[in-house]
Amino acid sequence: MRAAASGVLLALSFPKYGHPAFAWIALAPLLAALADESPSRFLRPRRLAHAFRLGVLTGVVYFAGTLYWITHVMAVYGDLAPWVAVLVNAALVVYLALFPGIFAVVVRRLFLSIGRRALLAAPVVWVATELGRTYLFTGFPWVLLGYSQARVLPIAQLASAFGVYGVSMLIAAVSAVLAWMATYSGDRWRPASAAPAVAVVALVLGVAAWGSRRAAAREWTREGEPVRVGLIQGNVEQARKWDPAHATAIFEEYVRMTRQAIGAGAEFVLWPESSTPFRFEEDRTDADRLRALVRQARVPVLLGSDQFDHDARGKYYNAAFLLRSDGTTAGVYRKTHLVPFGEYVPLKRVFFFAAPLVEAVSDFSAGAGVVLLPVGRHEVSTAICYEIVYPDLVRQFVSAGSELLTTITNDAWFGASSAPYQHFEQASMRAIEEGRYLVRAANTGISGIVDPYGRVVAQSAIFEPAVVVGEARYLRTSTFYARHGDVLAYASAIVTLALLVLTRRSSLRM
């Protein structure tokens, strides 16, 4: 029950049904269960197997509660029977649940060697498993624990130093000391036993105080060159998007909304991912109309469109095109991190039962790497769809010289589920990490502007047409995270491995 309770609390830490406060206590029930010294629960032959089951149970509830919407996507847009869609979703949930399972095994093994002190190592182990989830088998770093605090700005500022993983570690530390206090079994209370709790409380308060001052100063919102951006949210239903009967109407509406944004003072306009109902380079008539509009208004436009490369053995890309103010193409970014089961199907032979999905999913190719797009005298970057949830990918753009983070997406797939809200908040964390404004154009929302401190300057509602116009800035500032990346996360992985090696002998003797 305690492991399941942790899963529920983790799921309730994220939007749209949860609250960030749950995250701070979410891991405590699982950790208390792992510290249970009852021999009936952890008999020697199965001590780690039971811990693994507890962690997997936590993970299954955690990810089923936050990724439930994938079933809808698979059934409606992947042409799968509902029961097959449930099966595919369940497979992903079980895979992701392996990481909390590994976390539980490591903590329990450390507990068998060093006792309750293992609880104090739990935050480090948790971050190590989150790092693994980000990269293993292409990675899927959705709803990392630290993302739960994207709207709690005093705490979220920690991401400017150590990324989202630093926020995860701080949150996990609170659960660890709660479990530490709950599992105290001495005959009488000793002041030293309260030391970890006092230290963590002091740390949280210190981070909150520093973060409050940092966010309130808004120093970087007064630096750099301002630019008024216009975000076009067409709200095109997925079923209509590629219907030839609606193509002209869709394009006309985007042109009209672009004129509206320019009329409101936009100096740089963004269309969403795959926004054109045609391949931009293939349909010369509509493409030339858009180029003429850009040339007339002298306003650059970034738009998403599929790209077919005839010179590269017919490879197919999910791409973003930047049009200069003279209407010519300034650059093209090809998406590098593709969505498994959305843009390609990994292990097609293994997922033979999902044959309709394999047929329905476009077989995209990955782009070659980081590409910056010139907007006047400035360099900007774009992340397409869920690329924005990969911290190091966005950091590579900034390291290459990006002065403004943009992201374009089509969240129509998600319906009115939790996913659009989760996606937007995770994108917001990149602004804090990199010390950059982030602007986001989403087909069905949420579109918005986020300042370098994670403050939402403007945002739209979901599933309604919208033109969002507001100020961002080109910045060349630098955070500790932008300069040094995921040093804390990798250090956590090294420390976790070192602890396992150092405690191996004593664990085997128990």
- Provide the annotated active-site residues: 273, 335, 385
Helices (H), 12-81: 28-34, 47-66, 70-77
Quick count: other Cβ atoms within 10 Å of Cβ 372? 18
Whose structure tokens read 């293939």?
282
Contacts for 102 with CB less than 8 Å, ≥ 6 apart? 52, 55, 129, 132
CB under 8 Å, gap of 24 or more: what pairs does 363-368 form? 363/316, 364/316, 364/317, 364/318, 364/335, 364/338, 365/312, 365/315, 365/316, 365/317, 365/334, 366/334, 366/335, 366/336, 366/337, 366/338, 367/317, 367/319, 367/333, 367/334, 367/335, 367/336, 368/334, 368/336
What is the DSSP annotation of 370-426? ---EEETTEEEEEEEGGGGG-HHHHHHHHHHT-SSEEEEE-GGGGTTSSHHHHHHHH
